[in-house]
């Protein structure tokens, strides 16, 4: 079975590596163009590109796949490259480019997307973060047959896991491993059984939610909200864009890396500091209180609460 892989970040790299390690022929890899990153703003290759280069795979990085878009010459070249390898299936994981209809129709088994949610809940850009923010008990992976709609296609295989107290980084890593396992399972069955391998499950029309892209503006927390809501947001926004709070004595918002819910009753104004200790900075919220256990000053480094309070201006 010939598999074309399309993906960009670390989440996708794990899936690509698993597919290749399972012995599938991956004659072509597609990833986003190199982006400028870091303090020096040097061009940086994606995680998938680095993996493809290490494996000696053929690689393309089109700016667009739309034949009628702003970069039609790139789209045409990509189409020719895909047609040349004649893939049986295209696997997509956090690729970052919209796949037009010609790509969906190109391979006999179409395009399979590794999606990090239990569809139809959390279609869209940030399913991992939004699941944590909403207080969902479970998240998971769906291997979805792609179609023109946004994450609307039928699901071939689904695997779930309990979120617990994980932050976005931890849930990302857990789902990346689960996604790599799931896509290998699907491809193995397709290679052995063909069209009879799966009866795709059409997504329910009820329970559809959309995971909007995170913004820096919403990462500035409001102490007037409940401690439970704020604790979930801190986990959802860790590490990016990073939850920030206003604290007395600081001219700029402080980044919060981790926090704990406190069973503390109070009648104080939201944002009032209740206590400062080596265990954390306790802050009154609209309902309940929150203990901030890891913090970072603007321009500073990540610190424990004990380290952080040593430099606190009273």
Query: What pLDDT is recorded for position 313?
Result: 62
Annotated binding site for (6S)-5,6,7,8-tetrahydrofolate: 117-120
Query: What pLDDT is recorded for position 148?
Result: 92
Give the HSE-up count for residue 91: Cα atoms under 13 Å, Cβ half-sphere.
Answer: 34
Tell me: domain 217-311, CATH 3.10.25.10, correct? yes
Within a 10 A sphere around the Cβ of 209, how many other Cβ atoms? Answer: 17
Domain-wise residue ranges, the chain: 2-211, 217-311
Query: Architecture of domain 2-211 in CATH?
Result: 3-Layer(aba) Sandwich (3.40)
Q: Enumerate residue ranges in the chain where pLDDT < 70.
A: 313-314
Annotated binding site: 117-120
Query: What pLDDT is recorded for position 275?
Result: 95
Residue 119's contacts (CB-CB under 8 Å, 6 or more residues apart) are 142, 144, 151, 155, 158, 203
Q: What is the pTM of this model?
A: 0.94
Within a 10 A sphere around the Cβ of 190, how many other Cβ atoms? Answer: 21
Within a 10 A sphere around the Cβ of 58, how many other Cβ atoms? Answer: 14
pLDDT (tens digit per residue) in 203-243: 999 999 999 999 999 999 999 999 999 999 999 999 999 99
Tell me if domain 2-211 and domain 217-311 are identical in fold: no
Helix (H) or strand (E) holding 131: helix 127-133
């Amino acid at each position: 079975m010939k598999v074309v892989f399309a993906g960009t970040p670390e989440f996708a790299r794990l899936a690509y590596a698993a597919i290749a390690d399972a012995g599938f022929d991956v004659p072509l890899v597609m990833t986003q163009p190199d982006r400028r990153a870091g303090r020096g703003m040097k061009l940086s290759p994606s995680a998938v590109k680095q993996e493809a280069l290490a494996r000696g795979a053929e690689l393309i990085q089109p700016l667009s796949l739309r034949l009628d878009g702003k970069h039609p010459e790139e789209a045409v070249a990509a189409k020719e490259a895909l047609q040349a390898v004649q893939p049986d299936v295209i696997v997509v994981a956090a690729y970052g480019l919209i796949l037009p209809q010609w790509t969906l129709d190109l391979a006999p088994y179409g395009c399979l997307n590794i999606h990090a949610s239990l569809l139809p809940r959390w279609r869209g850009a940030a399913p991992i973060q939004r699941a944590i923010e909403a207080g969902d008990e479970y998240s998971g992976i769906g291997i979805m047959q792609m179609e023109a709609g946004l994450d609307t296609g039928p699901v071939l295989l689904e695997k779930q896991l309990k979120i617990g107290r994980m932050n976005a980084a931890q849930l990302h890593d857990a789902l990346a491993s689960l996604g790599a396992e799931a896509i290998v399972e699907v491809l193995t069955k397709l290679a052995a059984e063909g069209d009879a391998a799966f009866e795709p499950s059409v997504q329910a029309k009820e329970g559809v939610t959309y995971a909007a892209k995170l913004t820096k503006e919403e990462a500035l927390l409001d102490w007037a909200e409940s401690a439970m809501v704020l604790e979930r947001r801190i986990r959802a926004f860790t590490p990016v864009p990073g939850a920030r709070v206003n604290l007395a004595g600081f001219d700029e918002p402080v980044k919060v890396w981790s926090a704990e819910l406190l069973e503390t009753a109070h009648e104080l104004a939201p944002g009032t500091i209740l206590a400062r200790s080596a265990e954390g900075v306790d802050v009154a919220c609209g309902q309940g209180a929150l203990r901030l256990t890891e913090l970072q000053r603007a321009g500073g480094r990540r610190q424990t609460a004990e380290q952080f309070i040593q430099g606190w201006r009273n």
